Structure 1
């Protein structure tokens, strides 16, 4: 059973992705509902969460007639069957075939799948293969073997899917930046000395109180070049973004991780300046309400501070939680953004 604050965040958002993972019991009315129930939300103090419908019935509650939590809908069965088909296929199944198996039209099935998972069937398949490739590449074996192991038909297909996303080649990813040129600088800011490093694709490291030695540890086989005219223009933009909170989406990044980590980082970038989210809300936002610790780990694995604003995540009780560069910097960032 997921934590109560995670379940409350999902139920408050009426998120269909959590249907079947728990039910919401309203103790004052004696009914239990799906997380996505369209009825008016109950007061928090009147709610209790149950792992499944059987547990809710054992507590003396009855099923909501509006959302029918006891029924596994045809829509849910179609999405679950498609997920299993994608996981079990060597090649990504065609959308038309998945739709035909479900008995729905192509357009309607695509809407159902995207609503349930947050990704289209094609994007879900690509994310799954990327994650498998990342795990295989990080294992230290041959790149070509890892590509086939992840389910790609060959290296060309892997590069076509991942060239924009990876920035560095798969070999560089696995091998400490080998063959990659990274330009860098350490500059003074109102938050202290800041390290900024970038490949030709975008910023790959932003941190505080670090220098060239830290960069060498992260990318021991890359060519590290200090400064440069093109890099100077990017550096100026990064400094301005750090000193003046706002929208960072115009600054290119070269970051990589598992599908789950990248989903967490995307959600971090969606948090508006001046607002915060709890770790539980972050996990719920990426469709994994039980993975609060994993969301915290993905948050901590962020290589690009501020531009991917991991400082905007706090504990459920309102405490600041942790921050790789010290709570004082986190506090200053949050105060600056609220102002």
Structure 2
């Protein structure tokens, strides 16, 4: 979905709502501070002090400098996202040019979008159900015990986190592993707590199956999308 900001009224509305879909479409110059910003900048200028510019070059030609808060000269990444229903509730998928960047479950669209925005504070977010559909279909297939299509992943984390997430994807469906076993699998047997934190930071629900990691005694530990979902996922996989 593409949004146009052709009139100053449209542009000011985007500034008031800190609309990330407007980032890159125009720049907001603030006469009183002498800076130009992204429309989504957290600053709160008065309308009478604002001028709009098509490009950052035009803003600089007007004598303005880049805002240090929103850093409008840094590259803008676009994330297309969409919502879908799964057998275990609502899901949100976000896709970058590199691949699937986020796949989360929840119950409230506003909260889930806020989670997305917090994770990618400098991204321009565009709702696009068609782009998100393959990831949501893969999630639904995985929950149903099927074989989801392989998707490119845009994983962003430390080397240890990415190693953990890779190890999680190697745990067979219907099986579980302890945090200690995962730590051994990545060659860091002393890093059990770090493994647990990496599981908690997993950005791709179910397809990177952190739900298959349990305590050493076999008990279910926490799950960022709810222990009941974790229990249901394991039960579905064992029954498949």
Identify the TM-score tier after normalising by the shorter chain: 0.5 to 0.7
Which residue of the partner structure matches residue 171 of structure 2?
271
Structure 1 stretches lacking a partner, 5+ long: 1-174
Cα distance in 2, alignment partners of residues 236 and 215 from structure 1: 15
1:71-90 matches, cutoff 5 A: none
Which structure shows the higher helix fraction?
A: 1
> How far 1:239 sits from its partner (Å)?
3.9
Is 1:219 the counterpart of 2:116? The answer is no
Inter-CA distance 195–202: structure 2 relative to 1 (3 Å threshold): same
1:134-283 matches, cutoff 5 A: 179-209=76-106, 210-227=111-128, 229=130, 231-235=131-135, 237-248=137-148, 250-283=150-183
Cα distance in 1, alignment partners of residues 123 and 94 from structure 2: 12
> How far 1:326 sits from its partner (Å)?
0.9
Cα distance in 1, alignment partners of residues 81 and 160 from structure 2: 28
Structure 2 stretches lacking a partner, 5+ long: 1-71
**For the Cα contact (< 8 Å) 1:268–1:309, is it kept in 2?**
yes
> How far 1:247 sits from its partner (Å)?
4.3
Runs of 4+ deviating beyond 4 Å: 246-249
How many residues end up aligned between the 2 structures?
Answer: 163
Cα distance in 1, alignment partners of residues 212 and 158 from structure 2: 21
Which TM-score applies when normalising by structure 2?
0.63
Cα distance in 1, alignment partners of residues 132 and 184 from structure 2: 39
1:35-74 matches, cutoff 5 A: none
Which residue of the partner structure matches residue 326 of structure 1?
226
Cα distance in 2, alignment partners of residues 198 and 272 from structure 1: 26
Cα distance in 2, alignment partners of residues 311 and 184 from structure 1: 23
Per-residue displacement from partner, 1:16-53 (whole Å, max 9, x unpaired)?
xxxxxxxxxxxxxxxxxxxxxxxxxxxxxxxxxxxxxx
Deviates more, 1:320-329 or 1:233-242: 233-242
Cα distance in 1, alignment partners of residues 136 and 232 from structure 2: 21
Which residue of the partner structure matches residue 126 of structure 1?
none
Per-residue displacement from partner, 1:105-125 (whole Å, max 9, x unpaired)?
xxxxxxxxxxxxxxxxxxxxx
Which residue of the partner structure matches residue 316 of structure 1?
216
Bigger-Rg structure (1/2): 1
